Homo-oligomer: A and B are copies of this chain.
């Protein structure tokens, strides 16, 4: 049986994951502090297992699926989630299949295969991904682990917040990039329950129209956003995620464009010396260009570091 999203389940997930994932470090740069005009801390989640936060939720979901007797796990992913699930399945001794859009970056596809998962290419639409995943899950008898709209995943992701407040108790705000909304809603939910004075700012790519979706429930016809931030190209946020984002972050949405992301990326690469992916730079881009006046001790999450070797910002 799938868990509910909730504080108790998040605490259980934290314990379930302890020692199996990295407690990722915090970094800072005096030059970036000067540029922003505040002491900025970076939570280095690109140094997590498989190079992204996704391993938190993927391992929680896989451990729960295994407890429930799953004979394998399957998902669809353009990269980081697939890699995380493949790693999680391997570390639990379960087989894994990942449906990957044929336009996903080669580095991510190869990395999924490197964790011994069976990679199946599909058309680059959300519909094709979901349909192929459902069909294969029936054929193989594997449990589907959704990339973001999945309570066990969200409960696992929340483990990062506990680490942040242990590492930097003075944090007064958290900046996180938002794609399907699983990570952002995990952070928003756990923070609201445990540190209600701390604001969570969610950062979307231009073209996602999250405010319009929250206000009116409508979205453009296309199902992907055109952005260099390939981790947040999905247009729709999950049904589990929407009410959480609505309740806690509706007034804390920031939209950034590709130029702003590139600028942030150059700072992270040259100053922090961290080779993170474009999606990971959205949170800093937000702080660079739209710094909220109430923010004094921001925590910027560098959510992933899986970027092709020949990518230049």
On A, residues with C-beta under 8 Å from B are 25, 27, 46-47, 51, 107, 266, 269-270, 273-276, 305, 309-310, 312-313
Contact = CB atoms under 8 A, between A and B. Distances in A.
A70 to B, nearest CB: 25
Given A25-B25, A273-B274, A275-B275, A312 B309 contact: yes
Contact of A269 (B47, B270, B309, B312): B309
> 10 closest A-B pairs (Cβ-Cβ)?
A273-B305, A275-B275, A273-B275, A46-B273, A269-B275, A310-B312, A273-B274, A266-B309, A47-B273, A270-B309
Contacts of A310: 312
Nearest to A313: B309
Contact of A273 (B107, B266, B276, B312): B276
Contacts of A312: 309-310, 312
A107 B270 contact: yes
A79 B305 CA distance: 27
Contacts of A27: 47
A275 B275 CA distance: 5
A44 to B, nearest CB: 8
Contacts of A276: 273
Contacts of A266: 309
Contacts of A25: 25
A244 to B, nearest CB: 29
Contacts of A269: 275, 309
A74 to B, nearest CB: 24
Contacts of A275: 269-270, 273-275
Contacts of A47: 27, 273
